[in-house]
Amino acid sequence: GQNIDQPTEMTATEGAIVQINCTYQTSGFNGLFWYQQHAGEAPTFLSYNVLDGLEEKGRFSSFLSRSKGYSYLLLKELQMKDSASYLCAVNKEYGNKLVFGAGTILRVKS
């Protein structure tokens, strides 16, 4: 079966750094995505990793270790608007057929 695990909730302080972890066990692997989703809205793309290592994009970075079935999303210089749900999704085959984790609700406090 497909299994993608993320922490349910996290709280961090404005200006701080937070790391959201994701572990996965899927029947196939063709890349891992991170999405941000605000309540009642559709997900928006944050990052994509298909090879091991760190991808940096402004305040957001994402890391992948395929051998460990592990990824993390790193958010720096947290802002209040970063309060949202963060979804880890595995593309288990060519063609972007995504399997999503349940999401991590991040609360940023002042």
Partner 1 sequence: GAVVSQHPSWVICKSGTSVKIECRSLDFQATTMFWYRQFPKQSLMLMATSNEGSKATYEQGVEKDKFLINHASLTLSTLTVTSAHPEDSSFYICSALTGEDTEAFFGQGTRLTVV
Q: Which contacts of 36-39 are long-range, i.e. CB under 8 A and separated by 24 or more positions?
A: 36/84, 36/85, 36/86, 36/87, 37/84, 37/85, 37/86, 37/87, 37/103, 38/84, 38/85, 39/84, 39/85
- Among residues 104, 92, 50, 56, the alpha carbon closest in space to that of 76 is found at 56
In the complex, the smallest distance separating the C-beta of residue 67 from partner 1, rounded to whole angstroms, is 22
C-beta of 14 vs 49, nearer to partner 1 = 49
Q: How far is the CB of 58 from partner 1 (least distance, A)?
A: 15
* Cβ-based nearer residue to partner 1, 16 or 102: 102
Binding residues for partner 1, rule: CB under 8 A, are 4, 31, 33, 35, 40-45, 48, 50, 87, 89, 94-103
* Residue (18 or 99) nearer to partner 1, CB: 99
